[in-house]
Structure 1
Amino acid sequence: MAERHPALARLDALLGRWTVQPKVDGLGVGWTDFSWIENGMFLRQFADAEPLPADAPRAWRENNPLPVTSLIGLDEAGEEFSVLYADARGVHRVYRMTFADGVWRMWREAAGFHQRFTGTLSPDGDTIDARWERSEDGADWQLDFEVTYRR
């Protein structure tokens, strides 16, 4: 096998199982697991949680995306990743992604629904504090929700 690209090696910081706590009233803790597939050529992310409680916000119950599967691959031309995302609602999206110096970024530009994610890895590597933002036009952004990942 060819020598591993350094950008792929940086993703080792994500490996393993994390608890995921969205900072949204009524939502409990979920989990996500990152693992290498195809001899380390792709990183697979799988996320799930216990069923949402009956008192969870209606919008969350109706739009619950879990479980979620993402495949992360590298475009070596610019050390940028592509993320293929699919969830239980039947949603399929492609995000662009970077992961460097402890900062994890994902984004997509889609007509009427732009998204971006920024997560910061703690110095000990055991916590990621993150936020999802959305925009209709790609210029005016608003917080969608914050989330914390913990090992």
Structure 2
Amino acid sequence: MKNNINPALQELKQFIGAWEMEISNASFLPDANAVIKAKASFEWFEEGEFLIFRQGTKNSGTPWAIWFIGHDKDAQHYTVLYIDDQQSSRVYEMSFENSKWKMWRNAPEFIQRFTGEINQDKNIISGYWEKCVDGRNWEHDFNLTYKKAK
């Protein structure tokens, strides 16, 4: 592949590849000790114009989601379009600076944010999601870990 990567996405190339995902301590699961494991991957769309992030696999019985990541050259943050197995469509803002990965949305009915960090070897991302239903009080939603597949 030629280096046609959108200059606004260059810092995200370290994500490219296959990952193992683990969801734990999830408020939405009946058993708080349950762990969901699935495959995840980051890949370029059309040689680098956008980044596609896939979690889980459609029709596999496990939760799946697709994130379409782009960046307006005149905007401060990335824009992320999201869809999942529940047909929940969402739009997030995203930043990635100094190994810190953040995503957030401030929709009136459901405010949510993710905070994660990639380790020095760039092969583990550790993070968590929080939610806010009243516009003031944040609560833990779930932990999320990605490990680069070998």
Give the TM-score normalised by the residue count of structure 1.
0.83
1:138 to 135, 139, 147: 135
Deviation, structure 1 residue 37: 0.8
2:111 to 91, 95, 114: 114
What letter is aligned with 1:23? S
Distance 1:100 1:36 in 2: 20
Structure 1 residues 45-77: Cα deviation after superposition (integer angstroms, max 9, x where no partner): 11116635xxxxxxxxxxxxx221110000211
- Name structure 2 gaps, 5 residues minimum: 26-32
Matched, 1:32 2:40: yes
Distance 1:2 1:44 in 2: 16
- Does structure 2 retain, via aligned residues, the 8 Å contact 1:22–1:28? yes
Where in structure 2 are the equivalents of 1:82-93 lying within 5 Å?
A: 82-93=79-90
- Does structure 2 retain, via aligned residues, the 8 Å contact 1:33–1:45? yes
Q: CA RMSD in A?
A: 1.9
- Name structure 1 gaps, 5 residues minimum: 53-65
Give the TM-score normalised by the residue count of structure 2.
0.83
Where in structure 2 are the equivalents of 1:16-55 lying within 5 Å?
A: 16-24=17-25, 25-48=33-56, 51=61
What letter is aligned with 1:48? G
Alignment size in residue pairs: 137
Distance 1:88 1:109 in 2: 21
